[in-house]
Structure 1
Amino acid sequence: MKTRSNERLCAQAQKGDENARSLLLEKNYGFIRQTAAELYQSMNLGESDLGIEMDDLTQEGCIGLLDAISRFDSSKGIKFLTYAAPSIKNTMTDLVRSAFAQYEQRMTDKKNGPGLQKVLLDEILPDDERMLRIEAIANPTAKSPEQIYLDWETMRELYEGLEKLSEREQTYLLYRYGFTDDTEHTLIGTAIHFSLRESRAKKLEEEAMDNLWLELPWWF
C-alpha cells in the first residue's frame, strides 16, 4: 500500500477524516519526540525544579502539530512538517514558560516578599558603613581596611556603570545576576522571564556587558 504524504493526510484531516489525522500524528511522532529531546537537553530540564518530563514536552508537541492542521495551506508550496515545526516547538516552550512562571511565583511566595519587579539602583546600593561592616564581618582577618575600602569602591563603580546603561540593559543585568532577589538566574531562565528567545537574550547580555565594561574606569 502506497504511503500517503503529510500533505495529503493533512488535506484529508482538514475535511474531517479522523483516521488521516491520527496517521499524520503517528507519521511525525519521531520528529516530535526528537524536538522534545533536544529542547529538554538544551534547557537542562532534567536538572531543574520545574517538574517537566520529556513526555510532557512530547505531548505538547503533538498538540502543536494537530493545531497546525487547520492552518496549513498547501497552495503556498511549503511542506507540512516545515510549516508545523514552529507550532510544535512553540507549544513546548509555552509549557516551559508557564512552569517557570509558576516556579518563580512559588519562590516569591516562600520568601513572603513582593513579586519580581524593577528595582532602582539607589535602592540596592548599600551605604558606606553597611558595605564596610558586611565585608568586615564576612572575613575580619583576611582583608585590611584599605582592601575593604578598595572593594567597596569597585562595587560603587559597578553600580555607577550600571546606572549609565539603558533601562532595558539595567533591568536585564539586575535580574540575570540576582541584584533584585539574591538569586543568579540561568540564561534560559532569564530569557523565559523576559519572553525572549535564548539567542536574543544571549545577544542582549553580550551587548549590555560590553557597554558596562566601557563605563568602568578600571577597564582602561
Structure 2
Amino acid sequence: MCKKIKQNNLDAETRLLIENEGLVRKLTSTSEMVQAMEDAKYGGIELDDILQEGRIAMLRAAKNYDEDAGAEFSSYAYAAMKNAMTDLCRKGLSAFEKRMIDSGLTRVFLDDKPLDKDDVKISDRNSLEWHDPTGNLAVLHVMLEKMRNRIKDLPARQRRLIMYRYGLSVLECKTISETAAFFNLTEKYAEEIEKKTLKTLRDGMNDGKIL
C-alpha cells in the first residue's frame, strides 16, 4: 500500500486513511495529547484540526516509509502522527500566548502596584532581575502559565465570554457589543459578566501562588 501511495495512488491513500482512522483517534485519547489539546483550545485549535493533522502526517509517513529500515509501518506512522499533532497544539498555544502579550493581558490582570511575598512593592525593589531580559522572559512565561490555569478555573460561561471578548479563542478581540450579540446577551449584562470575571482573574493572579 505504501508503494502505491508513493506513486500517488488515490485509492491506496483513501484505503490507508479509512483503515487507520481508529489509530488517529486513539492518539487523541492519550494523557499527553489530552493536555496538549486542552492548551491548544486557547489558540483556536479544535479536535477536527488535530485529527486532520494526524491524517496528513499518516499519508506523509506512508510516502517516506522505508520497509528496509526494520520498523513496522504502524510504529513509524504512530510516531510521525503524534509529533505532528503535538506540534500543531504547541503552535496553537504559542498563538494564544502571543495574543495575551500583544493585548497586554498579562498586565491587565495584575494590580497597579503588586507586592512581593514581603509586602514590598515590586516597583520599589532594586533588583537586577527586573532589568535582565532573560529574567523578564522567565517571569512572563510563568505569568502566562498562571493565567491559563486561572482561566481554566472559571465557570464555563465566564470562560467562553472572556476568551471571545479578548481574542483568546478567535483571531482578534471583540467589542462588548459584538460579544453581547454573539452570546445573545444585553450589553449591560455582558459588561457585568466581564467585570466579575476580570475581578476573579485579578484576584487569582495575585493570590500569592506561583501557578
Q: TM-score, normalised by structure 2?
A: 0.51
CA deviation after TM superposition for structure 1 residue 20, in Å: 1.6
Aligned residue for 2:42, secondary structure, equals coil
Of residues 67-76 and 94-103 in structure 1, the stretch that sits farther from structure 2 once superposed is: 94-103
With over 3 angstroms needed to count, the CA separation of the structure-2 counterparts of 1:93 and 1:185, relative to structure 1, is: farther
Q: Which runs of 5+ in 2 are unaligned?
A: 107-111, 150-211
Aligned with residue 27 of structure 2, among 18, 35, 54: 35
Q: Percent identity?
A: 26
Q: How far does the alpha carbon of each residue in 1:154-204 deviate from its partner, in whole angstroms, 9 at most, with x for none?
A: xx99x78x79xxx97x577424422xx7x62669xxxxxxxxxxxxxxxxx
Task: Indicate yes or no: 2:104 matched with 1:111.
Answer: yes
Conservation of the 8 A alpha-carbon contact between 1:25 and 1:62: yes
Q: Which runs of 5+ in 1 are unaligned?
A: 1-8, 114-129, 136-147, 188-220
Q: How far does the alpha carbon of each residue in 1:66-85 deviate from its partner, in whole angstroms, 9 at most, with x for none?
A: 11112110011211111111
Conservation of the 8 A alpha-carbon contact between 1:12 and 1:20: yes
With over 3 angstroms needed to count, the CA separation of the structure-2 counterparts of 1:37 and 1:55, relative to structure 1, is: farther
Task: Indicate yes or no: 2:157 matched with 1:177.
Answer: no
Q: Partner residue of 1:217?
A: none
Q: Partner residue of 1:57?
A: 50
Conservation of the 8 A alpha-carbon contact between 2:40 and 2:46: no
Q: How far does the alpha carbon of each residue in 1:18-52 deviate from its partner, in whole angstroms, 9 at most, with x for none?
A: 21221111111101111123355223518942222
CA distance in structure 2 between the aligned counterparts of 1:67 and 1:35, rounded to whole angstroms: 17
CA distance in structure 2 between the aligned counterparts of 1:17 and 1:47, rounded to whole angstroms: 33
- Which structure's CA Rg is the greater one? 1
With over 3 angstroms needed to count, the CA separation of the structure-2 counterparts of 1:46 and 1:67, relative to structure 1, is: same
Conservation of the 8 A alpha-carbon contact between 2:6 and 2:63: yes
Task: Give RMSD over aligned pairs.
Answer: 4.1
Conservation of the 8 A alpha-carbon contact between 2:2 and 2:62: yes
Q: Partner residue of 1:98?
A: 91
Aligned residues: 142
Q: TM-score, normalised by structure 1?
A: 0.49
CA distance in structure 2 between the aligned counterparts of 1:78 and 1:47, rounded to whole angstroms: 31
CA distance in structure 1 between the aligned counterparts of 2:40 and 2:53, rounded to whole angstroms: 20
Greater RCO (CA < 8 Å, at least 6 residues apart)? 2
Task: Indicate yes or no: 2:7 matched with 1:15.
Answer: yes
Q: Partner residue of 2:74?
A: 81
